[in-house]
Structure 1
Amino acid sequence: MIDAVVRCLARLVMSRGYKVSHGPVGVGIEVMTYIADQYRPPDITLAIGLFGHRHVVQGAEFVIVLGGAAGTQTEIDLAHSLGKKIIVLPASGGRARRFYQQAIRDQRLCSWMTHEHFASLNACEDSAEDFVRIVEQLIHDHHGAPCD
């Protein structure tokens, strides 16, 4: 499922021109690698992975979490402490599922999104496209980015 989400996120980034902040490993660099390999955009010649969890999260407005382990938890904790909007795919397991379960108990963790959007994240068990559609809608609702 994560591979399918990476492909869908890559299409979203390419079609909307979103900026991706990422470390040397993880979903962010996978999205950028997929874009480089599949789309070969002439204006992208280099992707630099930022070292240090704080550097990855600090400039982001939205933090998208798929799966993850201890390093991902560090980024989630930093994102939360910095007031970032965290979007998780619970079906991907790991820290994403754990954060979603915590947010069920403490709704302040995702109070920036509607209850409907929050619940729909859990319903994306088999559909990367549905998850990315929700991501795009959340970005649109809170950032004003175009959404068709």
Structure 2
Amino acid sequence: MTSSSAPSRKALSKIACNRLQKELTEWQVNPPTGFRHKVNDNLQKWTIDVTGAPGTLYANETYQLQVEFPVNYPMEAPQAIFVPPGPLHPHIYSNGHICLDILYDSWSPAMTVSSVCISILSMLSSSPAKERPADNDRYVKNCKNGRSPKETRWWFHDDKV
């Protein structure tokens, strides 16, 4: 039996390709503040440098975000993971998985890579402390073998961080 935990490697749909080309062009003209897309030839997998906002716990710290797009993007949310070591944050696990509702249950096709990035930066900026989620060790242990964060049943209960 094969594992279905790795993100799909199927080719993007024509709609997804067109949408991502448009988003990439817009990004190149007007990137969100604090983010830098590392150019590669893979439209389905973006690597983005994230720099913490001035005046926050993460000011001047840079982290790498890996964003992978499903075949039927934008109808389905992209998978966004911090490449370890990610920021110490109550909603970011040590394996890079991010507990943020717009990446899962609250995704809307109207959202873009830029809006996801801005939401992640906002989440970082509002954190009162640099710490891992309380259940980090248990969660990471359960994610062995490359399990996708999309396979997690997230419980969004803390809207203060």
Q: What TM-score, normalized by structure 2, do the two folds share? A: 0.32
Q: Which has the larger helix fraction?
A: 1
